[in-house]
Amino acid sequence: MNSRWLRSRELPQLGSFIVLKKGKVAWLLFRNGGAISRSAQWLRRHCHAFEPVNASSRLR
């Protein structure tokens, strides 16, 4: 299972979230405790709308 921190360019108010990808399903886990289950295809289709969050900007 690979995970990475992302942030939505279109919805910055969501803040950063962690993506856990396992097979064909991706979970978007938000800092406020919310979670959304998406297909990996959805993630690929929308990857242009996300930017990776590096460790330094995650602290802000």
Q: What is the CB neighbour count within 10 angstroms for residue 33? A: 6
Given this model, what pLDDT does residue 60 score?
47
Cβ atoms 9, 50 nearer than 8 A: yes
Nearest to 50 by CA among 3, 1, 2, 5: 5
- The answer, as to whether pTM is greater than 0.95, is no
Which value, to the nearest 10 degrees, does the dihedral of the CA atoms of residues 9, 11, 15, 47 take? -50
Tens digits of per-residue pLDDT, 37-57? 999 899 899 988 999 987 555
Given this model, what pLDDT does residue 25 score?
94
